[in-house]
Amino acid sequence: MTIQRLILIFESMKFSTEELVEGIRLGNKRLIAKAITLVESKKSEHRIQAEELLKIVMPFTGKSIRVGITGVPGAGKSTFIENFGRLAISNGKKVAVLAIDPSSAINKGSILGDKTRMEELAKEENAFIRPSPSSGFLGGVANTTFETMMICEAAGYDYILIETVGVGQSEVLVADITDVFLFLKIIGGGDELQGIKRGIMEMVDVIFINKVDADNLQKAKNTKLELKRALDFIPPKEKNWKIPVLLGSALNNEGLGEVFEKINEFIDLKKKTQRFEEVRVQQAEKRFEYWVQEYILGMMKRNNSVEEAYIEHKKNASAMVSNPSTEAKLFVEKFLRDSRSVSRDSENI
């Protein structure tokens, strides 16, 4: 039997929650991947098992440093993660790499795509690389990077590196689940700051100017000055933290040690000032809100007549037949009326 065939058999196997938990705790990468596929699923039977699994691993979660990495396409995020990950491993740490990709349904974005395989990092025993869900959460995969992270933490990973893929809402999603937000900047032409959305500058904790070499060192220094000036106009996210702007090359492994130090310094500061816990509590609340919406929408969609009403009211809203908020209210009222009559019917049985 070929290895491919064995892998196929393995992929189609079902595992009990206990088997998955044991695999996660032993650091079995195949079973970790299986567990992640389970929490990514929107199917209701999978959700039941996923919740059961997450409940058991919960006591083993929360101990990692969660790092978000953003930057325009081609800024060098994957290259950075590959070498930064190896640096952390050489410091005795275990590293998991995830991606947040709200647009993956469209561009099949994957951090294991042809361009960047993170080949060297992938060979490391102490690294785990998970591409973003291939069908995107509009196509049925939920926004579960947070839950995926919990599984990686239960498996003992010390650093979780999350790459934003695509542009737009991914930065907000990643900032909402990480402890430190790193912005990779490349030196552009002329009007340096135009490309930087103010929103990103408000979220960022550490800036790394990438692709710096002897030829463009002066330009990089100018970019650094401009960034620093821009930062002066932005209210600080964390008191007592001056956002460092570092220079280097992800490809040539230059300046990454400094980033590693700054990240750890930032985490230490947050822990000392209780901000670390405080922010994590806020993030957990946001996850709660996300899942309330997710489960309510799921319940609605399982009920055909409700789904029809949903489509109808949405159509009215988009055609501006009436105010979208009015349509939403009408729809929710109908949903509540229907679910009350369903529960009355079941009481009568």
Can you give the binding site for ligand GTP, defined by CB under 6 A?
Answer: 71, 73-79, 115-116, 165, 210-211, 249-252
- Residues 191 and 69: their CA atoms lie apart, in Å, by 23
Phi, psi of 162 (to 5 degrees): -115, 115
Phi, psi of 176 (to 5 degrees): -75, -10
| 310: Cα separation from own chain's centroid | 29
Among Mg ion, ligand GTP, none, the one that 73 touches (CB under a kind-dependent 5 to 8 A) is ligand GTP
Q: Which of these segments, 24-32, 69-77, 315-323, 333-341, binds Mg ion (CB under 5 A)? A: 69-77
CB-nearer residue toward Mg ion: 61 or 116: 116
Least distance between ligand GTP and beta carbon 73 (Å): 4
Among Mg ion, ligand GTP, none, the one that 28 touches (CB under a kind-dependent 5 to 8 A) is none
Among ligand GTP, Mg ion, none, the one that 56 touches (CB under a kind-dependent 5 to 8 A) is none
Let me know: does 295 contact 125? Beta carbons within 8 Å: no
DSSP label at 249?
B
Residue type, 126: N
SS3 255: coil
Concatenated DSSP letters for 93-144?
--EEEEEE-TTHHHH---TTSSS---HHHHH-TTEEE-PPPTTTGGGTB---
Least distance between Mg ion and beta carbon 73 (Å): 8
Residue type, 33: A
CB-nearer residue toward Mg ion: 65 or 112: 112
Position with the least CB separation from Mg ion: 78
CB-nearer residue toward ligand GTP: 68 or 71: 71
Among Mg ion, ligand GTP, none, the one that 86 touches (CB under a kind-dependent 5 to 8 A) is none
The CB density around residue 279, as the number of other CB atoms within 10 Å, is: 16
Q: Break the chain down into helix, strand, coil percent, rounded to 5.
A: 60, 10, 30
Q: Could you say which residues in the range 4-23 bind Mg ion, by CB under 5 A?
A: none
Phi, psi of 331 (to 5 degrees): -65, -45
Least distance between ligand GTP and beta carbon 331 (Å): 38
Least distance between ligand GTP and beta carbon 81 (Å): 8
- Residues 331 and 313: their CA atoms lie apart, in Å, by 6
**What is the x/- site pattern for Mg ion, positions 78-117, by CB under 5 A?**
x-------------------------------------x-
Write the CA distances from 196 to 165, 167, 204, 343, integer angstroms.
16, 12, 12, 52
Least distance between Mg ion and beta carbon 77 (Å): 5
Least distance between ligand GTP and beta carbon 257 (Å): 15
Q: Could you say which residues in the range 263-292 bind Mg ion, by CB under 5 A?
A: none
Let me know: does 183 contact 89? Beta carbons within 8 Å: no
Least distance between ligand GTP and beta carbon 70 (Å): 9
Q: How many residues bind Mg ion (CB under 5 A)?
A: 3
144 binds Mg ion (CB under 5 A): no
CB-nearer residue toward ligand GTP: 117 or 275: 117
CB-nearer residue toward ligand GTP: 79 or 143: 79
- Residues 37 and 26: their CA atoms lie apart, in Å, by 18
CB-nearer residue toward ligand GTP: 94 or 211: 211
Least distance between ligand GTP and beta carbon 142 (Å): 22
Interface ranges with Mg ion (CB under 5 A):
77-78, 116
